[in-house]
Amino acid sequence: MSVAEPGLKKNYLTGLKEAIFEEFESDPNVIAIGEDIGFLGGAFGVTEGLKEKFGPDRVIDAPISEAAIVGVACGMCLNGKKAMVEMQFIDFISTGFDQIVNMTATYHYRTAGEVAINMVIRGPAGGYGGGALYHSQMNEAWFANSPGLKIVCPSTPADAKGLLKAAFRDPNPVMVYEMKELYRQNKISEVLKANDEALVPLGKGVVRREGEDVTIVTYGNNVYHCLQAADNLMSEGFSAEVIDIRSLVPLDEDIILESLKKTNRLVVVNEAPMTCGFAGEIVARMSDRAFDLLDAPPVRVTRLDTPVPWVKPLESFVLPSVNKITEAALRVCRY
C-alpha cells in the first residue's frame, strides 16, 4: 500500500490504512498483532500490505485468542513497544475483556503514573450490514465504564485517519470503534492530509450541521442518519443542529452545552442498546449541567434491547433509522 497521493479523495478505509502505514514508517517501535492481519490483511483489508512492507517481527499473526492478543500486546508495551491490537470483529472483544479492563486500563493507576501502556485497540463495529448478532455489536459502554481507557468512534475518512493517528500518539490505551458499513462507502470521501497535519485531538466533538431548534448528538454511522433526519425536519419547519462527538471518553460536553444554549432541546442517537448505553450517559450529563436550558425532556433513539437480527426487515426494526430520528426530534420540537 502506498501513501496517499496529494489531492485525491479517499474513503474511510483508506484513512485508517494511511494512519497505520504512516505511524509504522515514523516509529520503528510500533507493532501490530491480531488474527490474520498479516497473512490476509485483516477481515476488511485495513492492514493489507503491512506485513509485506514491515515484516513479521512487527506485524504478528496471532492465534484465535483475544485474551492472548491483548495480553501479549500489553507485555510488549511494557518493554517499550507501541502496540496496535486488531479485533477481527469488535463483538469478539469480550473474550479479551479481562486483559483490557483489569490489566491494560489499570497500569497507569497501579504504578502511580510511572508506567504507560501505549496501545491502540481497534476493530470493525456496528450493524446495518446484515451481520446478525455476532457481527453487529456496539459494546462501547462496557469500556466507557472502565477508567483508564479512551474511546473514539470516527464517522468520516479524515477523522478515521486523524483520530487513529492521535490514538497512536497517546501514551495510554485508546479504543477505536470503526464503522464497517462506512469502510468502502466512496460517496463519503474526503481529501486527506499527510502525516502530522491529519491529527484530530481526542476529546473534541464537531458540529456537522448548524441549527436553531433541536440539538441531535450522535457518533459513528448514525451521523449520516441524523443528517438525513435534519433534512426531513427542515421540511417540517424545524432546524436541527447535528453534533458528532467523535470521542466518547473523554467527552466534549462543552460543544453540546453551547448548542443547547441555542436550541434548548436534545435528542441523542446511537446504535447500542438503550439500557445502560452511552446515549443515556450523555442525557444524564446534560440533565446535570443544562437542566435550566432544556425546554423539553431529552430523548434517546437507540437500538432496542435485543440482539441484532440477521433478517433485514428485523434488523431495520431494532436499529435507529432516519424515520425514527425524525419522529423523535419532531416530538421534542413540538413538546
For residue 124, whether the previous peptide bond is cis, meaning omega lies within 30 degrees of 0, is no
Q: Which residue has the cell 446478525?
A: 132
> What does the alpha-carbon distance between residue 43 and residue 89 come to, in Å, rounded to a whole number?
8
**CB 214, CB 297: distance < 8 Å:** no
**CB 101, CB 66: distance < 8 Å:** no
Q: What angle do CA 132, 136, 142 make, to 5 degrees?
A: 130
**CB 150, CB 175: distance < 8 Å:** yes
Catalytic residue among 122, 135, 208, 265: 135
> What does the alpha-carbon distance between residue 248 and residue 16 come to, in Å, rounded to a whole number?
19
Q: Is 135 a residue of the active site?
A: yes
DSSP secondary structure code for residue 90 in this structure: G
The residue count of the chain comes to: 335
> What does the alpha-carbon distance between residue 318 and residue 272 come to, in Å, rounded to a whole number?
10
Q: Please choose, from the candidates 47, 279, 313, 77, the residue with its C-alpha nearest in 3D space to the C-alpha of residue 183.
A: 47
> What does the alpha-carbon distance between residue 107 and residue 172 come to, in Å, rounded to a whole number?
9
> What does the alpha-carbon distance between residue 209 and residue 20 come to, in Å, rounded to a whole number?
29
**CB 87, CB 122: distance < 8 Å:** yes
For residue 250, whether the previous peptide bond is cis, meaning omega lies within 30 degrees of 0, is yes
> What does the alpha-carbon distance between residue 151 and residue 141 come to, in Å, rounded to a whole number?
10
C-alpha to C-alpha distances, 290 to 36, 218, 244, 279, 284, nearest whole angstrom: 47, 18, 19, 16, 10
> What does the alpha-carbon distance between residue 12 and residue 2 come to, in Å, rounded to a whole number?
16
Q: Which residues are catalytic?
A: 135
